[in-house]
Structure formats: C-alpha cells, structure tokens
A and B are shown apart, each in its own frame.
Chain A
Amino acid sequence: MIIARKKSFVYRIVLYILIIAGAAISIFPILWMIMSSVKPDPLIVNPEPIWFFKPTLEHYQMLFTKAQDFTFVRYFVNSLIISGASTLIAIVTGYFCAYSISRFNTGGTQYSYWILSIRMLPPAVFITPIVILFGFYRLMDTRIAIIMMYLIFNVPFAVWIFLSFIDDIPIDLEDAALLDGYSRLDVMRKIIFPLTAPSIVAVGLICFIFSWNEYMFALVLSFQKASTITIGTARFVGGYGIWWGRISAALTVAAVIPIALGLFGQRYLVRGLTMGAVK
C-alpha cells in the first residue's frame, strides 16, 4: 500500500515536470513575441537575449498610425471580414449539405467521400487554375476571391464534422417530432440544431482559425486592397531590414482573436471533436 503510494508520488512529480517543461516550450515563442513587441528596437537585435528592459509601446503606435500606402488596420479588418464570412458560409452550407446527405442520401453513398477528396489534394494544386479563373472574372485582389478560396477547404471539413454528428442522432427522433406536428424545417431548428450545437462551435472555430492563419492563397490572390493580416505582417520584412518590433506587435494583435475564440470555445471544441467518435 505504502509502496504503491510512494510510486504514485514519484510518478506524479515526474509527470508534472514533464507537463511544465512541455508547457514552457510551447508558451515560450508566444512569450518572446509579446516581449519583443514592447522592446525598444536596438535591444531586439542584441546578440545576447535581454530579459529586463523598460517596455515601450512605440511599435503598437506605429501599427495604428497611417503609413503612406498601407495600413495595418485595413489588413486586420480584411482578415476579420474574410475569416468571418468564410466561416459563416461554411457553417450554413455545410450544415444543410450534411443534413441532406445524412437523411436523404443525397448524391448516393460516394458523394460524401467525393467532398472529402477535395481536402486530400495538396492546396497548392488549386493555385494555378484559381488564379486564371479569378483573373478572368476580375476577382483578383478582392475579398470575395479569398472568401471563395477558403470555402473550398472549409466546406468539406464542415460537411464531414456535421455529418458525423447528424448521423448520430436517431432518425426516430425526427419522426417523433414530425408526428407531433413539426415541419421538416422546424425539426431541424428545434430538435437537430440544439443537439448538434457543440459541433457548430467546433466547426466555426476551426474554420475561422484556418482562414485567419492562412498565408499562401492570401498572398497569391491579393496585391494590396484585400490583403489579410498574415500578408500585412510579412510586409514588415522590407528591403532594408526586418522590423522585428513591428512584426511582433502585429502578430500579438493578430493572435488576440484566435486565442480569445479558443478560450471561449474550448469546452465545445473538445466535445465537438470527440462526440462523433467516442461516446
């Protein structure tokens, strides 16, 4: 008995050391980013890391004051609109699509795999045809182009997560509601929707974070007007040097949104991603 307890005590100590080490390693880059964002420029490039200094907000001021040809605020707003819109559209279309595949076997048994197969391709495959197509329709450097691009990735993901959720809800439940007097739309709204709410939060979060962090397509499809925050941040890498302080400040601002969403949706995220598989 005593031996067992001792063993478990040692086990716990080791476990906690490992957990703390893991957490430190993962949190360090973020911490360093935040520190750099409030460090005066000369100290950032110091060969020895400097831990203690007088913090400054000059980088943040630079971000939010209007420069000649671009503004950080515009990139931030672009990112919000593009990520928000592509997430919303992915949720709505994905949800209805998944419902119809699950309940009416739309498109036959292979249809859902066909949708999934879109995500199996390396994303770069899409670049050339999409650039030609969007160029033809004069969609380059518009937010709509980037929203549509992200939907290519977000909709299949949404369909698959929703599909696993809706499949789990017994069809009898819908039949019962139909018998009780609901229309098909009422059944979806009042029975299926509340039961699949965690999946909606999970899908929303993941789609949003994917869109928010995406770099390659945003770079190819936008020049200036429609650039997102990832592109905007990269623009601080100039021909005459790298503005480390401003990059850190921009990234800190950019990280606030996903972190806030993550904290808010964490509970649902875990439930949403495990409920389909584990009961």
Chain B
Amino acid sequence: MANVRLEHVYKNYRDVKAVIDANWECNDGEVVSILGPSGCGKSSSLRMIAGLEEISNGSIYIGDRRVNELSPAERNIALAFENYALYPHMTVRQNISYPLKIRNVEISEIKKRCDQILTMLDLHDISGYKVTGLSGGQKQRTSLGRALIREPDVFLLDEPISHLDVKLRAKMRDDLKSLLKRTGHTAIYVTHDQLEAMTVADRIVVMNLGEIQQIGTPMEVYERPQNKFVATFIGEPSMNLIPGSLKKQGGKNIFSINGQNMEVPAEVQVEKAAKEGKVSFGVRPTECFLSLTEKKGWLKGKVYTITKGIDTAVYQIDIDANHVRIVAERTVGGTIGDTAWVSFDFQHSRFFSEETGGRINLSK
C-alpha cells in the first residue's frame, strides 16, 4: 500500500496540452476518482501514473519513490482496463495467474492466490473457459482479478465498468466499492460517469480541458462547486445558471433578471457581488419551486418543455429567455405554453462570476 502524489505534472502531445499543472494526492487506502468529460486529460493522468505515457513535466511519487523514470513493471501498480485487455488465447484462470507467472512465482503459490481471487470474484465456475466467449460482466471481473492478484501498491481503474449494461453497471458499482474497501487498496478510478465517481470515490478530482477544476469529497463537489463547469457537470439534470445582477433596493437584497426582481436573503453580501459585475445565480433543479397559479414575489415565466420521468417530471420554464429546469412532481400538470411562477430555495445560494466563471463567496 502506498500513496500517490502528483507535483506540477504536465502532459503535452505536440501542440495539445492534455494535462496542465496537476497537483494532487491520493492518500494511502483512499479511493480517488478522476472525473471529467472525454478529452479532459483524465486517462492521460492515469497512464502517466501507470508509466504508459511519459511525463512531460513535473513529478509523480508512489510512496516515497519518484517514479518518473521507472518502467510500468517497476512501479508495482495494477491497471484494470476499459476494454478489459484480457489475453484472448488464455482461459480465465490463466489470465488471472499470468502476472504472477511472469514474475516467476512458485506454481503452488500461484494456484493458492488464484483460487482466493476466483472465490472473491465468484469466478470458480468459469475458470477453465477461454475469455473470448465470456459476457461483459465476467470479462470485467476477470480483468479485476488479474489486477488484484499482484497485490499492487496502487490499483488503477480506467472506466472499468462503462461497457456494461445499465443494470449490471449498478451492481458492479456497489461490488467494486465494497471490494475496494474490503481490500483496503489505494485506488485511482477514472470515469466520465458522475454517478460512479460519487458512489465509489472518497474524493473526486474534477478535470476539464486538462485543468483540475476542483478536488473534494463527493458532497463538497456537489454542494459547493468551485466554478460554473463543476456546477453544471455534476448533478442530473444539471444545475441552472441564471445570469442577472445583485443590488440593494430599499433595504432589501434584490436579484434581478431581465427586469424581473426577486428578493434574496439578507445574509448575502450584495456589496461584494457589486465588485464582480455581472453574476450568475446557480440553483439545482431540485432546489426550485414551481407553481401554475400566481404567487407574489415569484418569477413569472412560461412552460417551455415537460419531460416526464418515472416518478418526477422535469419542467423547463422560460423566464425572459432564460431556461430554468425544475424537478417537480408528475402531478403538477400543466401544458406547454402555460404561465408558471418560479421560486428558489436560497439555502445553498451560489453565485458565479460571469467574467471568470469562478464562484463568489457571498456569505458572511
């Protein structure tokens, strides 16, 4: 077991900057997830840690060792690949025991450890099968087994369950979490699926366009996003960002959107926002209230779309050309074009600078 530390790590592919100044640490026994859209540099980061890509600049430490110059094998890490990368000409058992075979471990020892892994991952019944005929879930477990048998210092997972179907993915997500906790491995888990990151990881590193956007626990990242990207990337449906301006009017805090005014709680330090110029108000669709009858002091708009889900419906309300998504009960009713009134729960009020995209801390 060991921790992993990245210090000012850069990765450039010719003109493309894939990773820019990555600075973070994964503690011993911790599960850190790198989350971001495709092309954000998350896989490059992982491959640099694994030693499969050269590090353009900066240092990576595993434990106390600087590993920049070490070959992948010398780093004592294991990687579970997105497409499993199983050796197609071997059986499940041969695949799982192969890393030990390469390292010339004794045959009796290989058998013992292989049996443990097969039991742990429930693969005993199919241990003699060639891997080409297996289902996605079986291949995935075999690939995990091959990674686990080495007892590596660090366990890397590159979108390990993104190719599975929805139901199996939910099950594997839970299995994976309990497996990682049980074995106590230091693990770095790359994914583009926020749900996977939120459920499996202890901490999340959110990346976009090569840059780290925020590092924090799943709750921190969800509740207190540092900028507009994190705010809209995490959460489904994504957070509403409503541009407008904050001002004091008649002793009250007012947020005005295209002429419509709404009162904001007194705790919000409006004076601070005045320095930032234009701001966006960030509110999650679940933190909005919707009414189809007139309410005083609420914002007035029109129903733009209604998307009915299984137990809730997502309404898009057009408020002076701003589309606000709201999660409401299916029973609210209404049709497209109806007039609607909207209000927000200001408990988590988040304001972002329109200029920098960063969050402005307006609480006292």
Query: Within 8 Å CB of A181, what residues of B?
Result: 73, 99, 102-103
A50 in the interface, Cβ–Cβ < 8 Å? no
A179 adjacent to B89 (CB under 8 Å): no
Which of B78, B88, B146, B150 has the most chain A CB within a 10 Å cutoff?
A: B88
Which of B79-87, B160-168, B172-180 sits within the interface?
A: B79-87
Q: Is the interface of B mostly helix, strand, loop or mixed?
A: loop
Count B-side interface residues using an 8 Å CB cutoff.
23
A172 touches B81 (CB 8 A): yes
Q: Which residues of B contact A182 (CB under 8 A)?
A: 73, 102
A173-205 interface bits toward B, Cβ cutoff 8 Å, 1 = contact, 0 = none? 101111111100010000100110000000000
The residues of A that contact B98 with a CB separation of less than 8 Å are 180
Contact of B81 among A176, A180, A194 (CB under 8 A): A176
Q: Is A170 an interface residue (CB 8 A)?
A: yes
**Which B residues touch A176, using CB under 8 A?**
79, 81, 85, 87, 146
**Highest count of chain B CB atoms <10 Å: which of A173, A177, A179, A191:** A179
Within 8 A of B (CB), among A27-82: none
Which of A170, A180, A191 is most buried by chain B, counting CB atoms within 10 A of its CB? A180
Task: Please give, as numbers and ranges, the residues of chain B lying within 8 Å of A194 by CB-CB distance.
Answer: 89
- Determine which of A173, A178, A186 lies in contact with B87 in the assembled complex, contact meaning CB atoms within 8 Å: A173
Q: B50 near A: Cβ within 8 Å?
A: yes
Smallest CB gap from A175: residue in B: B52
Tell me, yes or no, whether B119 is within 8 Å of chain A by CB. Answer: no
| A172-B81, A172-B82 as given contacts; A179 in contact with B88, CB under 8 Å | no
Q: With an 8 A cutoff between CB atoms, is B342 at the interface? A: no
B102 x A191 contact (CB < 8 A): no
Contact of A179 among B77, B82, B83, B87 (CB under 8 A): B77
In the complex, chain B residues whose CB is within 8 Å of the CB of A178: 51-52, 71-73
Establish whether residues A179 and B79, one from each chain, have CB atoms under 8 Å apart when the complex forms.
Answer: yes
The residue on A at minimum CB distance from B75 is A179
Q: What separation, in Å, do the CA atoms of A195 and B50 have in the docked complex?
A: 25
Contact A180 B99 (CB under 8 A): yes
The answer to whether A175 and B72 touch across the interface, beta carbons within 8 angstroms, is yes
Q: Is the CB of B89 within 8 A of A195?
A: yes
Chain B residue nearest to A178 (CB atoms) is B72
Q: Note all chain A residues with C-beta closer than 8 A to B72.
A: 175, 178-179
Check A179/B103 contact, CB under 8 A, given A173-B85, A173-B87. Answer: no
Measured as residues with beta carbon below 8 angstroms from the partner, the interface class of chain A is 10 to 19
Closest-CB distance, B45 to chain A (whole angstroms)? 15
Contacting pair A191 B87 (CB below 8 A): yes
Contact for B73 among A170, A172, A180, CB less than 8 A: A180
Residues of B69-115 contacting chain A, CB below 8 A = 71-73, 77-79, 81-83, 85-89, 98-99, 102-103
Nearest chain B CB to A178 CB, angstrom units: 5
Say how far A127's CB is from chain B's closest CB, in angstroms.
Answer: 44
Closest to A190 in B: B102
A195 CA to B130 CA, complexed, in Å:
14
Evaluate whether A175 and B81 lie within 8 angstroms (CB atoms) in the complex, with A182-B73, A195-B89 already known: yes
> B residues within 8 A CB of A173?
85-87
Complex Cα spacing A272 to B98, Å: 27
Nearest to A169 among chain B residues (CB) is B88
Q: Considering the complex, give the chain A residue whose CB is closest to the CB of B89.
A: A194
Residue in B71, B83, B99, B103 whose CB lies within 8 Å of A170: B83
Among residues of A, the one whose C-beta sits closest to the C-beta of B158 is A172
What's the nearest-Cβ distance from chain A to residue B88, in Å?
Answer: 7
Give 1 or 0 for each of A140-168: 1 = CB within 8 Å of chain B CB: 00000000000000000000000000000
Would you call B83 and A172 a contact (CB within 8 A)? yes
Which chain A residues (237-279) contact chain B, with CB distance < 8 Å? none
Instruction: Point out the residues of chain A lying under 8 angstroms from B86, CB to CB.
Output: 173
Which residues from chain A contact B81 at a C-beta distance below 8 Å? Answer: 172, 175-176
| Least Cβ–Cβ distance between A18 and chain B, in angstroms | 37
- Specify the chain B residue showing the minimal Cβ separation from A195: B89
**Is A175's CB under 8 angstroms from B85's CB?**
yes
In the assembly, what is the distance between CA of A172 and CA of B98, in Å?
Answer: 15
- Complex contacts, A172 vs chain B, CB 8 Å: 81-83, 85
Q: Which of chain B's residues has its CB closest to A176's CB?
A: B85
Q: Which residues of B contact A180 (CB under 8 A)?
A: 73, 98-99, 102-103, 150
Q: In the assembled complex, how far is the CB of residue A101 from the closest CB belonging to chain B, in whole angstroms?
A: 19
Interface pair B71/A195, CB less than 8 Å apart? no
16 extra A-B contacts, CB within 8 A, seeds A180-B73, A181-B99: A170-B83, A173-B86, A175-B72, A176-B79, A176-B85, A177-B87, A177-B102, A178-B71, A178-B72, A179-B50, A179-B73, A180-B99, A181-B103, A182-B73, A182-B102, A195-B88
Q: What are 13 A-to-B residue pairs whose CB atoms are below 8 Å?
A: A170-B85, A172-B85, A173-B87, A176-B79, A178-B51, A178-B71, A178-B72, A179-B77, A180-B73, A180-B98, A181-B102, A181-B103, A195-B88
| Pairs A-B, 6 closest by C-beta atoms | A172-B85, A181-B73, A180-B99, A176-B85, A172-B81, A181-B102
